[in-house]
Amino acid sequence: MIATQPFGGTGHVSMRTLFGAAALSSVSQAEADHTLELLLEYGVNHIDTAASYGDAELRIGPWMAQYRKQFFLATKTGERTYQAARDQIHRSLERLRVDQVDLIQLHNLAEPDEWEVAMGPGGALEAAIEARDQGLVRFIGVTGHGVGIAATHKRSLERFAFDSVLLPYSYIMMQNPQYAADFEALVALCQTRNVAVQTIKSITRAPWGDDPHTAATWYEPLDKQDDIDKAVHWVLGRPGIFLNTVGDIHVLPKVFNAASRFEHKPSEADMEALLSAADMAPLFV
């Protein structure tokens, strides 16, 4: 059984392993429906998608007539200006076939110039706040990638009271001293403000090399169950954070399998052995 915990101050108790719907970006509806069966099997009650995840919102839409009340539903806008973000939020509602999403997130808000636009007058944040005021969304979050994102999220929280943040967290990522320090500072701030912390890229092995890609992810994931177990259990070994699952429907069952068997955090020696045996390399440098 996968553990649950409050999703920040939203009042929702989410499973600690959230479904990352990037996995549905380029699958058929039949494949998506099979994935829904997996979510129901494991009791997953939180879906995280985005306007930019290909057909993911369209694949989720048909589920909502029957299952809307079973899921905390989150999506994202990658637009930076008010009007473009407003239009995209409304489009996401149409694609998802819902009147309201639980969480709208400013997607990958990492670049300083884009941050200034999105967070400033006439920016995407204004569209998100408007949507919240109109009852189209309930909460507002911010997401991002890269080694500078933890520090950027901290800056974002100093500008606006976001309800959630999302960023990379893995054993290999935390070997970067600056990122580790920034991550710890961000989590400490989130704890004081009751902000949900979502983490991504937990089972990244390395950037793709020249060999043919064997998964739909934009990075090469770990693929052996034992390796995935260690990576997933390492993330879940930190209380208070969430793990957003992998962007491939075929690797996904292994992540849920690992999460369902979590008991304790692997040792430092176990993780160092994984790092070496799997020839892992940082995705972000």
Instruction: Please tell me whether the overall predicted TM-score, pTM, comes out greater than 0.95 for this model.
Output: yes
The pLDDT of residue 214? 82
Strand (E) positions, the chain? 4-6, 13-15, 17-20, 46-48, 72-77, 101-106, 137-143, 164-168, 196-200, 204-206, 220-221, 241-244
The span from the first CA to the last CA of the chain, in angstroms, equals: 35
Strand (E) positions, 107-223? 137-143, 164-168, 196-200, 204-206, 220-221
Coil, helix or strand for 77? strand
**Quick one: average pLDDT of 219-240?**
96
Domains of the chain in start order, with CATH, are 4-277 (3.20.20.100)
Nearest to 130 by CA among 76, 78, 86: 86
Reported as a single tens digit per residue, the pLDDT across 198-217 is: 999 999 998 888 878 888 88
Reported as a single tens digit per residue, the pLDDT across 157-179 is: 999 999 999 999 999 999 999 99
**Quick one: average pLDDT of 36-55?**
97
Mean pLDDT of the chain: 96
Give the model's confidence band at 62: pLDDT under 50 very low, under 70 low, under 90 confident, else very high.
very high
Q: Are 159 and 182 in contact (CB under 8 A)?
A: no
The pLDDT of residue 212? 83
Residues 137, 157: Cα–Cα separation, whole Å: 19
Reported as a single tens digit per residue, the pLDDT across 152-161 is: 999 999 999 9
126: Cβ contacts below 8 Å, ≥ 6 apart: 82
Reported as a single tens digit per residue, the pLDDT across 107-138 is: 999 999 999 999 999 999 999 999 999 999 99
Nearest to 21 by CA among 9, 6, 10, 36: 36
Pairing of strands 220-221, 204-206: antiparallel
The pLDDT of residue 121? 98
